[in-house]
Amino acid sequence: MTVMGIDPGLGASGWAVVTGEGETLTLVAFGAIRTDPAAQLADRLVAICDGIRQIVSVHSPDEVAIEDVFLAKDARAAFALGQARGAAIVGAAQGGCRAHSYTALQVKQSVTGHGHASKDQVGFMVRRLLNLAEPLRPADCADAAAIALCHLQRSRCAMAIAGVTP
């Protein structure tokens, strides 16, 4: 199964495509969609949507996983994140993929075994699970890879419970 993970953000949306075949996990590609802070909001959201759609077109993931909106002290930041997330979901849908949502707690639990792990712990485990020589940069990409890994693990568990062989 090939999964595209997305860590949405208005300034930068990290993405990573990960393949899980048996016990082997492979990082296929990663990057970040950056938007111009001086651009109009609508233009920034279109850039995120178009970028995700293009990546889905190039890498043909079976599924897309995206981080859910968290509660933040800054309502404006949470609102902007929600808009970026919506644009990414639409881009995935236009590319033919439904987006599965996971909270930060679920992602951390799946990747590190601890729901309150630090960003450094998540990055370390992403590097280890994907057998990478160097950490993924920017950090948004490591977060996106963690989201993809979370979806792969949860999908495997669901299939095992259902008695389906991957």
Catalytic residue IDs = 7, 67, 140
Which residue, among 151, 150, 8, has the nearest Cα to 92 in the 3D structure? 8
Contact 91, 52 (CB under 8 A): yes
Query: What residue spans of the chain are helical by DSSP H?
Result: 41-59, 75-94, 104-112, 119-129, 139-162
The CA-atom distances, in angstroms, between 139 and each of 21, 43, 75, 111, 143 are 25, 24, 23, 15, 6
- The set of residues, in sequence order, having a beta carbon less than 8 Å from that of 125 and lying 6+ positions away, is 111, 112, 117, 146
N-to-C CA span, the chain: 8
Report the distance separating Cα 51 and Cα 104, nearest Å: 23
Contact 138, 12 (CB under 8 A): yes
